[in-house]
Amino acid sequence: MAALLLLLPFSRIYGLITDIRNWLYDRDLYAVYKSDRCVIAVGNLTVGGTGKTPMIEYLIKRYQFTGRAVPLETATLSRGYGRHTKGFRIASKQDSASTIGDEPLQLFRKFNQTVRICVGERRAEAIQKLLASYPETNRILLDDAFQHRAVKPQFNLLLTDYNRPFYTDHPFPAGRLRERRHGARRADAVVVTKCPLTLSDIEQNRIRESIRVYARSETPVFFAGLQYSFPVPFSGLGVFANLDRVMLVSGLGNADPLEQYVSRTFRMRTHHRFADHYAYSRSELDQLLAALQPGESLLTTEKDWVKLSALLKPDELNRLPLYYLPVEMAFLDNSKTEFDRLVDEIPFKKR
What is residue 218's DSSP assignment?
T
Number of domains in the chain: 2
Same domain assignment for residues 80 and 103? yes
Residue 68 binned pLDDT confidence (cut-offs 50, 70, 90): low
What is residue 33's DSSP assignment?
B
Residue 233 has pLDDT above 50, yes or no: yes
Same domain assignment for residues 248 and 198? no
Same domain assignment for residues 43 and 149? yes
Mean pLDDT of the chain: 92
Same domain assignment for residues 250 and 204? no
Give kind and range of the element (H or E) at residue 104: helix 102-111
Looking up residue 305, the CATH number of its domain turns out to be: 3.40.50.10700
pTM for this model (two decimals): 0.91
Residue partners of 155: CB distance under 8 A and separation at least 6: 38, 39, 40, 41, 188, 189, 343, 346
Identify which of 194, 195, 252, 224 has the alpha carbon closest to the alpha carbon of residue 48: 252
**R_g (Cα) of the chain, nearest Å:** 21
Same domain assignment for residues 187 and 239? no
| Within a domain: 349 | no
Same domain assignment for residues 128 and 204? yes
Helices (H) and strands (E) in the chain, counts: 11, 14
| Within a domain: 1 | no
| Within a domain: 351 | no
What is the signed CA dihedral for 146, 152, 156, 160, rounded to 10 degrees? 10
Same domain assignment for residues 77 and 146? yes
What average pLDDT score do residues 295-301 get?
95
- For residue range 130-183, what is the model confidence (pLDDT) as tens digits? 999 999 999 999 999 999 999 999 999 999 999 999 999 999 999 999 999 999
Same domain assignment for residues 209 and 136? yes
Same domain assignment for residues 77 and 149? yes
| Within a domain: 252 | yes
pLDDT for 72 equals: 83
Which residues form the domain of 282? 230-325
| Within a domain: 338 | yes
Same domain assignment for residues 16 and 95? yes
Same domain assignment for residues 46 and 161? yes
Residue 66 binned pLDDT confidence (cut-offs 50, 70, 90): low
Residue 187 binned pLDDT confidence (cut-offs 50, 70, 90): very high
What average pLDDT score do residues 62-83 get?
82
pLDDT for 122 equals: 95
Distance CA 328, CA 162 (A): 16
What is the signed CA dihedral for 267, 272, 278, 280, rounded to 10 degrees? -90
| Within a domain: 280 | yes
| Within a domain: 350 | no
Looking up residue 44, the CATH number of its domain turns out to be: 3.40.50.300
Residue 350 binned pLDDT confidence (cut-offs 50, 70, 90): very low
Same domain assignment for residues 174 and 244? no
| Within a domain: 190 | yes
